[in-house]
Copies of this chain bind each other. A is one copy, B any other.
Amino acid sequence: MRISVDTEREFLESVFKVQGFNEQDGQLLADTLVDADLRGISSHGIQRLQWYSKMIEDHTLEPKNQPKILNETPTSLLIDADKSMGQIASAFAMRKLIEKAKAGGVALAVIRNSNHFGTAGYYSRMASKEGLIGISTTNTRPLVVPTNSLEAFLGSNALAFTFPADPHPFVFDGATATVSSGKIQVLAKKGEQIPGDWAVDENRNVLHDAKTVEDNLATIAFSDDRPGGGVLTLGGNKEVNSNYKGFGNSLIIELLTGILAQGSLSADTNKAPHDFSQFFMTINPALFGDLETLKANASAMFDRIRHLKHVPGTKIMIPGDREYQNYDDNLKAGINIDGETLAELQAISKQYNVPLPIDEANA
């Protein structure tokens, strides 16, 4: 079934209010989930609400807490999120980094004691709206098996990189691993199979049953057990296809987040305090040339790539193309909600006594 964007936003804002977030924070949180659903990144949309609610109940997440600046220089920020939701400290950091990059050309922020921050692209897109390059990363729960390893250690470790362009910015936004766990969750909820080489068992045999993989990942991420197996690094199962490069990419994010923040490694976020760390950067391209010229050159390059000879029946898409198309489509058609997520939302509606208006015509 589909629900309208207004319905989704209103429901989320009401739930977050009852959960104790202030109005501004609740609006931000709702906006990040609605934005993900609009862009077709349903793994990071309203389907995460159940997890967020659970984190409030077990005090992994404190809705009333606010981020604090521990250290600030003209080029940097070190922030303690104080167990608030990741979105709150992240948007706060990115707003400050935008000012800093406009003044000094480049700036970095590291956040500790944080939580899940939604999609990485939400924050790097804030920078691109201001004519800046934006970079946004986070570590996560343990999910990913290093090259040759039989057990998970790394997070899916999202990276977003945004560069100003027309008709929309370049937005690379995704797990450094082959996929995020959310993508497998969505397939499991729909009862679908995994179509590619995304995850392995304790002997590094590729698994295709999404429910089996999802159950295994949940055990790894949310308990003290590490039964073996996990999500593959980019490059797949075989070292000969350079999966050590995907491993390296994931480790770079681990260094910029958990290590620089002196927070938990992804490997250890299965245990309390379950803290995530984030890293952000803004770069002013005007350090190197006229912004409009750089934008025009980037846009022209993307157009050339879109029109290269390609496999019949396929399209060459620049990072961001699909999400901006989804955004326009879903704004009209409404947000698609799978049956299991709907049941979760109905339970939350009951628990917090917040009505979930369903357009029965579309149900």
- Which B residues lie within 8 Å of A317 (CB)? 147, 244
Contact B148–A316 (Cβ < 8 Å): yes
A167 within 8 A of B: no
Contact B178–A241 (Cβ < 8 Å): yes
- Which B residues lie within 8 Å of A305 (CB)? 146, 149, 153
Distance in angstroms between the alpha carbons of A247 and B254 in the assembled complex: 22
- Give 1 or 0 for each of A132-152: 1 = CB within 8 Å of chain B CB: 010000000000001111110
A327 within 8 A of B: no
- Which B residues lie within 8 Å of A242 (CB)? 174, 178-179, 196, 234
- Give 1 or 0 for each of A239-267: 1 = CB within 8 Å of chain B CB: 11110111111011011001111100101
- Which B residues lie within 8 Å of A273 (CB)? none
Q: What is the chain B residue whose CB lies nearest that of A179?
A: B242
Q: What is the chain B residue whose CB lies nearest that of A254?
A: B301
Q: Which of A18-26, A283-291, A340-348 contacts B (4 or more CB under 8 A)?
A: A283-291
Contact A149–B319 (Cβ < 8 Å): no
Select one of B107, B197, B265, B311 contacting A241, CB under 8 A.
Answer: B197
* Chain copies in complex: 2
Select one of B151, B172, B238, B308 contacting A146, CB under 8 A.
Answer: B308
Distance in angstroms between the alpha carbons of A178 and B297 in the assembled complex: 26
Distance in angstroms between the alpha carbons of A11 and B267 in the assembled complex: 49
A351 within 8 A of B: no
- Give 1 or 0 for each of A216-250: 1 = CB within 8 Å of chain B CB: 00000000000010000011101111101111110
- Which B residues lie within 8 Å of A301 (CB)? 254, 258-259, 265, 267
Q: Which of A45-53, A56-64, A72-80, A83-91 contacts B (4 or more CB under 8 A)?
A: A72-80
Report if A289-B311 is in contact (Cβ < 8 Å); known contacts: A104-B75, A236-B235.
no
A15 within 8 A of B: no
Distance in angstroms between the alpha carbons of A241 and B265 in the assembled complex: 26
Report if A235-B234 is in contact (Cβ < 8 Å); known contacts: A289-B260, A319-B244.
yes
Contact B316–A76 (Cβ < 8 Å): no
Select one of B146, B172, B236, B297 contacting A259, CB under 8 A.
Answer: B297
Report if A151-B309 is in contact (Cβ < 8 Å); known contacts: A244-B317, A262-B289, A293-B262.
yes
Q: A163-B259, A174-B242, A235-B236 are in contact. List 9 more A-B contacts (CB 8 A).
A: A73-B104, A75-B104, A76-B288, A78-B287, A146-B316, A151-B309, A234-B242, A235-B246, A239-B314
* 28 residue pairs bridging A and B, Cβ less than 8 Å apart: A73-B105, A74-B104, A75-B104, A76-B287, A76-B288, A146-B305, A147-B316, A147-B317, A148-B310, A149-B311, A150-B311, A153-B305, A153-B308, A163-B259, A170-B251, A172-B248, A172-B251, A174-B245, A196-B240, A197-B241, A198-B241, A228-B309, A234-B234, A247-B319, A259-B301, A260-B289, A260-B294, A262-B289
**A→B interface (CB under 8 Å):** 71, 73-76, 78, 104-108, 110, 133, 146-151, 153, 161, 163, 170, 172, 174, 176, 178-179, 195-198, 204, 228, 234-236, 238-242, 244-249, 251-252, 254-255, 258-262, 265, 267, 283, 285, 287-289, 293-294, 297-298, 301, 304-305, 308-311, 314-319
